[in-house]
Structure 1
C-alpha cells in the first residue's frame, strides 16, 4: 500500500518508522487539541491503510457463517458486525469489521492481516478465505484499491453527515449508502468507506464542513480509553476472544461449525479466561513509557503483557494490557522493560462485565 494522499495536506505529520499506522497521518501539529475536538465536536481520521475484501455471490452469507466466528446467516442488507478468524485452538488469527450493503459484504481489517492455513502455515487473510470457498457460490476480491476508510469521531458526527449529504445510520453497526459512500455506525464514531479515487475530495468536503483533522495518535488514544482492542497490538499468539472482550461482539458462543468454536463455548460456559484486558494508568513523570509487548510486573513476577500505549488529552499516559485474571485490582504494578519501566495502576472501571459490552463510558460518550 502506498502512502495516503492525505499526507500531502498541510500540517500532516507521518507516523514514525515501525508504527502500524505508517502511510497515514500521525497528527496535524497538535494531537491533544485534535483529541479535544473529537471529544467535544467532531474529527475526521484517515484510516486508508486498512485492507478491504469484498464478498459477493448468492451464498455469501451462508459461506461466511461457516468460516468466521460471527452469526451472519441473517445479516440484513444495511447491517454490519465484527468477526474473527480463529485457529483450531480458538486463538485469534484475524479481526474484521463487516458492512453488508447492496448484495456485497465488505470486510475491512488490519493491513497485512493473516490466518493459519489448513496445513499450519501463515496465509494472507484473503488467501485463507479463498482456500475455504470450495464449491460455494461466492466470489472474493481484494477491494483495497477500490475503497478507503475514513472515520468520524465526536458528538457532532450526525450533524456533519447531514451537512455533507450522507445518511446517519441509527443503531450499532447499522449501514447505509449514498453518493458511492458506505456509512457504518461503530461503537466509537462512524466509518466511511469512500471510493479510493475520491479520498482527497471527501477529506476536503468533511473538513470544510467543520471536521477537525485528527491523526492516528489521537484516534488510538480514544480507542485505548474506550478499551477497544486492536490485532497484533493488544493480542499475542495465545489470545482467545474472551480475554479481549470479543465474545458476543465478534464471536458467537452458540453457533457451531467454525474453527475454534469449541474453545469459545467451553471458556464461556465453564470457566473464566486466563487473562483479561484492562486499562492501565501509567506514571507520567518519567520521559520514557513502556512499549507494546513489554511485561507487566507484580513485584518480580511477570503477570501480563503491555498492548497499546497512548497519551490521552485528559488521562495522560495510558495502556491496554493483558493481565492474569488472578491479579488483584488494587495491585501495585510496573509496566515496561529495561530502562522504560514505570508504575502502573489498573483502572477499576475497565474490568470486563460477565457479559462483555462494547466499551466503557468513553465509548458511549464518543459515539457519534
Structure 2
C-alpha cells in the first residue's frame, strides 16, 4: 500500500492510499479559499450515568444532502474544486472539516458546566477523519470488489495504529453510516474514524461483562461466545478466518456480528490471511444486506476495537453490522423503551433473520 500526504487549503491533512504498484503522484493543489477550521467542542461528564457527552454546537452548519453534481467528496474537476484536489483517487482519508473532536481544540474550558458542579468539563480533544472508499459517487461498499475492500481494510488498520499513538487518545472507532434513513448527509460512499479521549460506554460495558464472567466462572466469555456461535443456527457466512452470525440477543431487526476465529485486539493485529478473508466475508454479508429486500438496507457498520491501553488482553475484535429496516418499506424506530430506557424490543427473530440472510442469492 502506498501513502501520499498533502495539505488542504485550510491546513487539514489529506492522505491518499493506493494499492502497491500505483504511480499516482497526487500533487494537485487545493485552490479553494477556505476559512480556518474552528472547533469549539467540549466533553461534559454525565455524573449519573458515568458517561462522557461531546458538545459540538459548531457542527450545525455542516454540509447537508447536496446534489450529486456538487458532492464535496467526489474528485475535483475544472471549475468545481472539492475536498479532494486530485481528479481521481483510490482511497482517501482527510480530517473532517466539521469535526466533533480535534487535536487543535480550545483547551481553555472551565472545570465544570455552569451551575452543575458534578458535570466535569474537558476540551473536546481527539480527531475525526473521513474515509472515502472510491472516487465513484454511485458505487457502494458491497460493490467495491475484493481488491479495493482489502485496501480499505489496510487503511483502517493503518489509521487505527497512527491515531492510537496520539497522546490522550483512548479508543479508535472506524465506522460507516449507509443510507439516508440512518442519517447520512453525504451520499458518496465513505466512512469515518473517531479517535476518542475516553473509552466509550459500549466497550466499558462489554469489558465489565468479560471480567465478571471470568471472576464467576473462570471462563473466557468472548471465546465461549465465538465457539458456540460458530456451530449454531444463526451463522450467516464463514471462511477460514472469520465467522458472521446473527447474535442470539440481537437488538436490531437485521444485525450480524463478524468475529475473527483467532483472537486479536484490533485491526492492526490482523495478519494478511485474516485481512484477505475479512474483505471476502464482509463483501458477502454486505451483499446479503443489499439484496434481502427490493432496495438495499440502510446500515451502520461499527468496528469494536480494543481500547488503546486498558483491557486489550481481554478484548476480541469484532464488527457490528446492523440495519433499521424491519420489513419492506418499514423501519424500526427507537421509541420510548429503547430511547428512554435503553431497553430494546426487537421486531424480528434472530434465528429467522439468519435463515433469511443465508437464503439471499447475491448476483
Structure 1 length normalisation: TM-score? 0.26
Query: Which of the two has higher C-alpha Rg?
Result: 2
Q: Which has the higher helix share?
A: 2
